[in-house]
Chains A and B, each alone.
Chain A
Amino acid sequence: MNKEELKQLKVTALHCRQNVLRMIKANGSGHLGPAFSCLDIVTALYFHVMDVDPKNPDKEDRDRFLLSAGHKGMAQYAALAEKGYFEKEILDTFGQFKCRIPGHPDMHKLPGIEVNTGSLGHGLNLACGMALALRQDKKKSRVFALMGDGELAEGSNWEAAAIAAQYKLDNLCVIVDANGLQISGHTKDVMSYEPITDHFAGFGWAVTEIDGNNMEEVVATFDKLPLESGKPNLIVAHDIKAKGFSELEDQVGCHYWAPDQEAMARAEKELEDAIKEVLAQ
């Protein structure tokens, strides 16, 4: 990847964060921390990695993206809007009755949403099913599932971990958005699944760890897929919750944010400055 493309991806990730602020502004609150932490990964997927077409969102051979941690929905809406799946004005309806972008994604409401999520521990099994069906139909499509590290405590994930390995689903890539925080505190204190890579490797996955907020590293890792032929792929993306708004970064309280006007203005200013900084590089 050349420098210019990398720069553009970084700017797009910041634009996506601006889209998140737009949704929070419309609703008065939202899951800022989880959305911001994973947005470098989500941006890389939609703007560099996945074969998708916003003009033809249901095209048969498309790659699939599932947000197992559905509360990061704003991150996906932000990327879909930025990619052109729908008009950005829809972002202003976030939280409204019968809006197309509810707090957790709904496949029947919006193009580009593959499944309904929100209840944790569902995405991996859905992703395995999609990967199995696509492989049976000899499709080249890959399935990407993003999950939270706190979500790993749901036992259903480990059922899926076994299935993916047993069926050698190398068309499946799971990214754990490992920001290390969940509602009650640090994930390692609440219920630790550290080291995450060891758990998945034990089931037979090909695993790697990256800095999930380092776009260069994120892209380079996705470009290497599959990590190993015949094995499902796990990327543990160590990132910072609320990355992009420094006063909330890595704070337990950043999971759900209901800002006053001044706080929103500070967040908007920080993103504008960050965009200028990247463009000046």
Chain B
Amino acid sequence: MSYEMFDAKKLLGDTVYEVAKERNDIVLLSTDSAPRSGFTTFIEKMPEAYYELGIMEQAAIGVGAGMAVAGKVPVWCGPAPFCTARPFEFFKVDLGYMHQNMKVIGRNCGFNYADLGPTHYGLEDYGLVRMIPDVVILAPQDASELKGAIKAMLDYVGPVYLRLSTAKLPKIFEEKPFEIGKGNLIEDGEDVTILTTGEITVNTLAAVELLKAKGVSVRVVGLPTISPIDTDIIVESAKKTGRLVTVEEHFTVGGLGTIVEEITAENCPVKVKKIGVPFTYISAGPYDDMIQYCGLDPESICNSVMEFLK
């Protein structure tokens, strides 16, 4: 399948700017990161609302929370591990516990920083942030969802973490208002449900085509909100197809796979196959090689599902 492709960072920066110029409360924080996150227009057009802090991630959240207390809506984007793992306790106290209206965007998530190695991978970002009560976590799957998610994030009052890659993003879905907390049925089927999140969904959908060619009837559910997760659609899927498969570019430990297991264990115990990143440090290298190593390319996903259904 060929899709129209978009630059995710440009889409991010331009969408935030389009909303910000109509309001007087959105400010942009940078930890030496905003110009490279797609915000050049924002920086040029709204310099009074742009704050460069240098490389200091704890401070970014603390300062952002302080600005939010005073009525601002700070937006901060940087590499996923440096926005989540590094300032985790600030995220917990200043944004979660204080329930402050700041928007944190972790970019280059998953293996996007392929050649830079484990310090730069974002493989535990939403696993960590979901341990903080009351933080909304968004993982849009394509260009349309990213645009909708950014608008929904800025309208929502409260802390939000949004993960994205900097890769060229396909436009898979039609544009529509993004509903926080809602999963979507991409395709219905009988034999198995694949639950997918984030930008790896493009591989999931390619795998689904391979599975269909093998005669498998697949139900596909997209989960662009990780927290609050759409429990209903997961339970409904478990009841309908019995077996579930999760696909994510994140550790399966603490990731979507874990979330789905938590929900099904309590509500409708079924077998769950978790496809994602193994719980270890994976060496640097070309992105496609790592995706293949983790079994996240379409053929590998297809093979894992076939094995699971045996």
Q: Which residues of A line the B interface, CB within 8 A?
A: 107-108, 114-116, 118-119, 121-122, 124-134, 136-137, 155-156, 159-160, 162-163, 167
B71 at the A/B interface (Cβ < 8 Å)? Answer: yes
Cα(A136)–Cα(B71), bound, Å:
11
Question: Of the candidates A108, A127, A156, which one forms a contact with B66 in the assembled complex, judged by CB atoms under 8 Å apart?
Answer: A127
Cα(A130)–Cα(B67), bound, Å:
5
B232 at the A/B interface (Cβ < 8 Å)? Answer: no
Q: Are B98 and A163 in contact (CB under 8 A)?
A: no
Name the 3 nearest CB pairs between A and B, nearest first: A129-B66, A125-B62, A133-B70
List the B side residues contacting A116 at CB < 8 Å.
93-94, 97-98
Q: Are B69 and A115 in contact (CB under 8 A)?
A: yes
Q: A116-B98, A159-B56, A163-B53 are in contact. Are A136 and B27 (CB under 8 A)?
A: yes
**Contacts between the two chains (Cβ within 8 Å), count:** 94
Q: Are A163 and B63 in contact (CB under 8 A)?
A: yes
List the A side residues contacting B56 at CB < 8 Å.
159, 162-163
Q: Can you give 11 contacting A-B residue pairs, CB < 8 Å? A: A115-B65, A122-B62, A124-B62, A125-B58, A126-B65, A128-B59, A129-B65, A130-B67, A130-B69, A133-B70, A156-B62
Q: Are A163 and B67 in contact (CB under 8 A)?
A: no
Cα(A118)–Cα(B97), bound, Å:
11
Question: Of the candidates A114, A136, A137, A155, which one forms a contact with B69 in the assembled complex, judged by CB atoms under 8 Å apart?
Answer: A114
Q: Are A128 and B99 in contact (CB under 8 A)?
A: no
Interface bin, chain B: 20 to 34
Other A-B contacts than A108-B99, A137-B71, 8 sampled, CB-CB below 8 A, are: A115-B69, A121-B58, A125-B61, A125-B63, A128-B59, A130-B70, A133-B67, A136-B72
Q: A122-B90, A137-B71 are in contact. Are A132 and B63 (CB under 8 A)?
A: yes
Q: A122-B93, A136-B27, A136-B49 are in contact. Are A160 and B69 (CB under 8 A)?
A: no
Q: Which of B28-63 contact A (CB under 8 A)?
A: 48-49, 51, 53-54, 56, 58-59, 61-63
Distance (Å) between the CB of A103 and the closest chain B CB? 14
B89 at the A/B interface (Cβ < 8 Å)? Answer: yes
Q: Which of A134, A155, A159 has the most CB of B within 10 A?
A: A159
Q: Are B66 and A126 in contact (CB under 8 A)?
A: yes
